[in-house]
Structure 1
């Protein structure tokens, strides 16, 4: 009798698992080993039968499934999005110009603030991702930046330890014609950053200088401004090194920056050259003692429409007026999209 009871329990468990697996078949049926591969492109090239089956595939270089738009192609992510309404909620990897695979954010526009953020401030779907850095998840810093670790936390930083330095990382657009740019960044404060002090006091009056402490995003030659993520000294103590939005205010941004920036401090009112302020990530719309430093609904995402179309790669500069041991921007996350 006892053996029969155990058999009954095991049978019920296996039956339940079979039912659950059957219900999930439409999502998981492409799981390796049926179509093994390192990426959507690899699966597409190795398995001709997969080319007629867009869907969620498990790939060997990632722990989760990804969407592979096998049957879709176009001149851009936006082109695929506009010509194929069914891709509207399927962000994943698509073929651009037939054989160039890229990640496309296909999230559709909705009306709530939370849902607008993944669509880059609500401006449609079909965004092409050109940068995706997440050091906190084990990623690597791009060429041109230096990876470092302190107290078990890894981040990207300027290459040099010297005063008045910038380090550039470039992200290729692969010749894609675009006019809109969006993205987000997350960073941390180290020591004593100076906000926009250098523009006013160091003669850094052009876009080519270290006009602000932080992450400065530009394109083209001569450089043209897209967005600046800057760091001020304090949140709630008057100082010229503060962000303009801080208590008592700080020095204003350059005219070529205008309102196209976010600025925040990770420190309240403690001046410490050696401190790493990991307890308050920057530009994430939380932790601001001064609320107007976090009052943009779409923050940390930015959105810019350029004056015209371009194919220029995008340059991201980490800039610091101080020596590294006295103050510097630290970056652990960055995403950039074009359309």
Structure 2
């Protein structure tokens, strides 16, 4: 076991390669010139001696930097370099575009995955490019096009306008990466009145507020990837249950044909609702809390997986939509994570 003094001395002389469990390993590079807050790209550009030393560097956390590996996509790197399998981190796409790649092994070959393993994505092969990873509860900002707000100590992203019948859009660039598969998850909360897919049945299309919730699309014209819908409530038949999720009792409004089964729907309350209430105790689309319906039956929740009909390089758009004005009801988003392959 190395002494504290020898570790510090080695760090200062840029010689230490040490794992977090105290054992030396070539995969771990903790070097003092690389200050917290920098990136794999900054380390690569500022310190030429690192360019042939892929490994774990201390940035904001212990991140893997695939210094010597490059390809046309995360999947390309995953397939070309067997040593990158299981080493999720930051890689160079086309020699310059640094991005986070999910490199977990396939489910069949990795019975004990790491804590960051994505079962629905990695279960069909590693090499996923992360487009976005937002967690408002940990202090992240909302992306451009959404509005950040805090209520009762809970922060979230919402539609920009206070008015009714509206959507707020944000776009995540693929930087020209070809993909056919999309994987991801979202988490949100219900505020007041939500009607799931009711507005589709009053004439709204994929370009409008067809859902109370979150719409994930690509291309122009828009093509559907996934929808996260927010129904009114899970339970009692009191004359308003027709606005529930299609999977909940009393619902009269199925998903639109362009959505089909490619959606998750949940409510934030089981047996009551209020036009201005915030339901923070039961997050949406997390695969739990559906006490009186079968909306949580899909075991892959909270993750979704979608294979498109063809390959594309389209950017991906996410829209928060709602029927009523904000004071009456809305869907609030606090987590969003999207990957492409």
Tell me the TM-score normalized by structure 2: 0.89
Q: Shift of the alpha carbon at 1:274?
A: 1.3
Of 92, 102, 111, the residue aligned with 1:95 is: 92
Which stretches of structure 1, 4 residues or longer, exceed 4 Å deviation after superposition? 17-22, 111-116
Q: Is the 8 A contact 2:103 2:122 kept in 1?
A: no
CA 1:69 to 1:121, structure 2 compared with 1: closer, same or farther past 3 Å?
A: closer
Q: How far apart, in 1, do the equivalents of 2:26 and 2:323 lie?
A: 51
Q: How far apart, in 2, do the equivalents of 1:35 and 1:199 lie?
A: 52
| 1:1-339 to 2 correspondences below 5 Å | 23-26=22-25, 30-36=29-35, 38-59=38-59, 62=60, 64-111=61-108, 117-120=118-121, 122-200=123-201, 202-204=202-204, 206-238=205-237, 239-290=241-292, 292-339=294-341
Counterpart secondary structure, 1:25: coil
What is the RMSD of the two structures over their aligned residues, measured on CA atoms? 2.5
Q: How far apart, in 2, do the equivalents of 1:47 and 1:250 lie?
A: 62
Q: Shift of the alpha carbon at 1:212?
A: 0.7
Counterpart secondary structure, 2:25: helix
- Cα-to-partner distance string for 1:223-278 (whole Å, 9 max, x where unaligned): 10000000001112231110011123341010000000000001112120111100
- Cα-to-partner distance string for 1:86-120 (whole Å, 9 max, x where unaligned): 21111000010011100000011114999574451
Q: Shift of the alpha carbon at 1:22?
A: 9.0
Q: Is the 8 A contact 2:107 2:119 kept in 1?
A: no
Q: For structure 1, which segment, 254-263 or 176-185, has the greater mean C-alpha deviation from structure 2 after superposition?
A: 176-185
- Cα-to-partner distance string for 1:13-34 (whole Å, 9 max, x where unaligned): 979x999989333379522414
Q: Is the 8 A contact 1:121 1:301 kept in 2?
A: no
CA 1:312 to 1:295, structure 2 compared with 1: closer, same or farther past 3 Å?
A: same
CA 1:327 to 1:303, structure 2 compared with 1: closer, same or farther past 3 Å?
A: same
Counterpart secondary structure, 1:225: strand
Q: How far apart, in 2, do the equivalents of 1:261 and 1:196 lie?
A: 11
Q: How far apart, in 2, do the equivalents of 1:121 and 1:21 lie?
A: 25
- Cα-to-partner distance string for 1:1-56 (whole Å, 9 max, x where unaligned): xxxxxxxxxxxx979x9999893333795224144471000000111111111111
Q: Is the 8 A contact 2:192 2:330 kept in 1?
A: yes
Choose 1 or 2 for highest CA Rg: 1
Q: Is the 8 A contact 2:217 2:226 kept in 1?
A: yes
Q: For structure 1, which segment, 91-100 or 237-246, has the greater mean C-alpha deviation from structure 2 after superposition?
A: 237-246
Q: How far apart, in 2, do the equivalents of 1:114 and 1:332 lie?
A: 29
**Higher-helix-fraction structure:** 1
Q: Is the 8 A contact 1:155 1:332 kept in 2?
A: yes
Q: Which residue of 1 aligns with 2:15?
A: none
Q: Shift of the alpha carbon at 1:160?
A: 0.4
Counterpart secondary structure, 1:82: helix
Q: Is the 8 A contact 1:113 1:298 kept in 2?
A: no
Counterpart secondary structure, 2:298: coil
CA 1:248 to 1:22, structure 2 compared with 1: closer, same or farther past 3 Å?
A: closer
